[in-house]
Amino acid sequence: MEIATNRLYTNYMRQTILFFLTVLLLFSCATTGQMSSDNEIFFRDYGIDNEPTITQSLFADNNSTISEENIQRILEGTFRLPDNLRVAVVKLESKQIGRMYGWWTNEEYLKTQQAYLDLITEKLKSSPRVEKVSVIPDILISNNPTFVTIRESAVRTQANIVAIYSINSEIYTRSRAFTRADIKAFATTQLILLDVKTGLIPFSATITKDYQSRRNETELDDSEARNRIKNEAVLLTLNEIGMQLIDFLDKENQ
């Protein structure tokens, strides 16, 4: 009888100890989870950045897609451009360009496009963060460029960031009897910065400006006046977008 009682007592103690161990384990897990949550609240309340830093591309370049997991990583992560920038410049040719300058000579067209490129380059070089500015030649850009092909071309020039821009403009003429017609041009310039290493776009801007004038005495015909006025509208957008870009680079470095 005593032996049976001892066995019952021993089994009871084993079950009791097992129960308390189970409760202790569950309590420990709950406490760890709470501590983790408390730590996140602490970091958030005291302004300490506890988010992962994005240091490489999370885009699947083979098909230009991104997984749901990487979407979360990008949206929850942080990103910062390198302090020292080597910029490659890419001009995306608008289908409208041929219509815009169809009546111009090749020389006039090339001079105008070079003037736009020079202005963007000068703006970039005015930032103390920019070490080098190079232009990716058309021969390295496919007829249907993508972010993938542009990144690959930028790597060949050892650029760590790409400035991609596109320009469109339109002319509106309002005729008046016995006077020269008023000519008004609208121009839109779009520019983005593409980080070569991560594939992210930290800066984008779209600027639209208008410029109005009339044909002057030195211009041979209305087409020459339209081209001049259209060019003035484009230059206004480039100056504005250049100022926004430099302002971004200065503030991002603070």
Residues 132 and 14 in one domain: no
- Confidence bin at 103 (pLDDT 50/70/90): very low
Pairing mode of beta strands 161-176, 85-91: parallel
pLDDT of residue 110: 83
Residues 222 and 180 in one domain: yes
Query: Has residue 20 got a pLDDT over 50?
Result: no
- Domain contains 72: no
Residues 41 and 86 in one domain: no
Q: What does pLDDT average to over the chain?
A: 75
Query: What amino acid is encoded at 111 in this protein?
Result: K
- Domain contains 184: yes
Give the end-to-end CA distance of the chain in Å, rounded to a whole number. 84
* CB burial of residue 41 (10 Å; 0-12, 13-18, 19+): exposed
**pLDDT tens-place string over residues 137-167:** 888 887 788 888 898 899 999 999 999 999 9
Residues 186 and 244 in one domain: yes
pLDDT of residue 249: 92
Token output for 109: 């067209």
pLDDT, average across residues 70-78: 82
Tell me what percent of the residues of the chain surpass a pLDDT of 90: 33
pLDDT of residue 223: 78
- Confidence bin at 125 (pLDDT 50/70/90): very high
Give the separation between CA 131 and CA 125, rounded to whole angstroms: 8
For 158, half-sphere exposure in the C-beta direction (CA atoms, 13 angstrom radius) is: 3
Query: Has residue 99 got a pLDDT over 80?
Result: no
pLDDT of residue 30: 39
pLDDT, average across residues 121-141: 91
Query: Has residue 10 got a pLDDT over 60?
Result: no
Contact assessment for residue 214 and residue 225, using Cβ atoms and an 8 Å cutoff: yes
Residues 16 and 141 in one domain: no
Q: Is the pTM of this model over 0.85?
A: no
Residues 38 and 99 in one domain: no
Region for 200 from its dihedrals, namely left if φ exceeds 0, alpha if ψ lies in -120 to 50, beta otherwise: beta
- Domain contains 110: yes
Q: Among 87-101, 111-125, 156-170, whose mean pLDDT is lowest?
A: 87-101
**Structural domain count, the chain:** 2
**What range defines the domain where residue 32 resides?**
1-50
Q: Which residue has better confidence, 19 or 57?
A: 57
> CA-based Rg of the chain, rounded to a whole angstrom?
31
3-state secondary structure of 186: strand
- Domain contains 71: no
- Domain contains 233: yes
**pLDDT tens-place string over residues 201-238:** 999 999 999 998 887 777 777 778 888 889 999 999 99
pLDDT of residue 101: 47
Indicate the DSSP class of residue 91: E
Residues 34 and 151 in one domain: no
